[in-house]
Amino acid sequence: MQVGCLGKIPFKVSDEAVQTLTNFQWSGSAAIATHNRHMNDSLTEATGRDPDKISFDIRLSSFLGVNIWDALLKLWDYERNYVVLPLVIGDKAYGKYRWLLQSHTIKGRYFDRDGNMIDCDVSIKLIEYVNLRRGR
């Protein structure tokens, strides 16, 4: 059963494969400028909103029926080609529009006797992409 996706990378749980996300964090912040004044208090000014950010981990494991290298190649392609991605978890599409994969970290857990990674955790960081043509 697919419980969500990042672009074409599914989050799923079934008899054949498990590929789920953990440690989900969604953050946002206001953009604040500080104007220093000589011999006086500084002034703060709200200048807008910083892009939202989302981070989470995905377990990729051949023990759980996942082709690790297919998923990693998709992630690298998304990041290196600045692919704008939808993020859906359950029946909720996250964000105002789409996301860019800002960075990733792969933590190898297990390797087979030939040195091939067969189990890893991938930490993913997304940054909000706003489509100006949609007025958002």
The predicted-structure confidence for 67-82, as pLDDT tens digits, reads as follows 899 999 999 999 999 9
pTM for this predicted structure: 0.84
Instruction: Please report the DSSP string for 20-47 in residue order.
Output: -EEEEEEE--EEEEEE--TTS--EEEEE
CA 4 to centroid of chain Cα atoms = 13
Q: Which amino acid, residue 20?
A: T
Element (H, E) at 68: helix 68-80
Tell me the average pLDDT across 30-40. Answer: 93
Q: What is the pLDDT of residues 104-121, one digit of tens each?
A: 999 999 999 999 999 999
Provide the residue ranges of all domains of the chain, joining segments of one domain with +.
Answer: 2-29+50-134
Architecture of domain 2-29+50-134: Beta Barrel (2.40)
User: To the nearest whole percent, how much of the chain has pLDDT over 70?
Assistant: 96
The DSSP code for 62 is G
Q: How many CB atoms lie within 10 A of CB 19?
A: 22
Q: DSSP letters of 87-104?
A: EEETTEE-SSSEEEEEEE
Average pLDDT over residues 11-26: 82
